[in-house]
Structure formats: structure tokens, C-alpha cells
Amino acid sequence: MMSLFSQFKMPRSADQIERQLEDIYSGAQGALRDLPPDEARKMVREAIEGCKQKGLEEGTADLRENFGDALLLQSRAGIAASIRIVEKARAEGAHDEDIAEWWNRTTFNAEWCCGRRKSFVTPTS
């Protein structure tokens, strides 16, 4: 299955990606939770802003787009910090392709896929 972010490989601004995510998820949220469109959009916007804030707090908001590729190259060159990250990922079962794909993601992308999005995608009972 193709991830939602795979369609964003084309050069697009962060604002364009956020708007597209907002459109997609606010429609889904409105339908799942029977929310008015404005309230659903506000919920999604808050989740997007939360993802961006987490990246700022963790100091990962400005990692370059090819950080994963650079990390693997630095590991092969013997740079200790990179070796530790790569070896930890490999010990958890990741292959080089997985490491590159994960670390090449923007912090927003990674947090959206694995963190903040979960807080509002699942309907409440």
C-alpha cells in the first residue's frame, strides 16, 4: 500500500502539503465524528500545528531532506554518532533502505504518520 506521503515526493511547499492534509483529514473527521466542517478543520489544523511544535521542541524541525542518506554515508565513513544510530536501527530489524526512508522524512511527516495523527483519527466512543 502506498503511503499518503509518497504522493508528496514531487517538489511542493510545506504549506501545500499541510493544506492537502487538512482537506483530506478534515473531511474524514467530519464524517467519522459527525462534526461541522469548521470544527473538523480546526481539529486537523491543531494536530498539524502539534506536529510542527514537537519538531521544534525536539530540535529536529530543520533536518535536511536527505538526512537518512547522509546518515548512512557517515556511518560507512566511520563517524561514531551515525554508526550508533544506524546500528540501533539495524538491531531493531531495519535495512538501509528503511533507515534512509525514515530519516529522509521531514519531522512533520514522521510525527504525522506515527504520532499526532493517532490522537484524532480514531473516533471516540
Residues 56 and 49: beta-carbon distance below 8 Å:
no
How many domains does the chain divide into?
2
The model's pTM:
0.57
pLDDT band at residue 120, thresholds of 50, 70 and 90? low
Provide the residue range defining the domain that includes 79: 64-105
Q: Are 75 and 83 in contact (CB under 8 A)?
A: yes
44 shares its domain with 28: yes
- Residues 57 and 39 both lie in one domain: yes
Query: Are 31 and 87 contained in the same domain?
Result: no
Of 122, 105, 83, residue with least CA distance to 3: 105
Residue 3 is assigned to a structural domain of this protein: no
Mean pLDDT of 52-68: 77
Q: Give per-residue pLDDT as tens, 11-45.
A: 466 777 788 888 888 888 788 888 898 998 998 88
At residue 125, the pLDDT reads 44
Is residue 9 situated within a structural domain?
no
Arithmetic mean of pLDDT over the chain = 78
Name the DSSP class of 8.
G
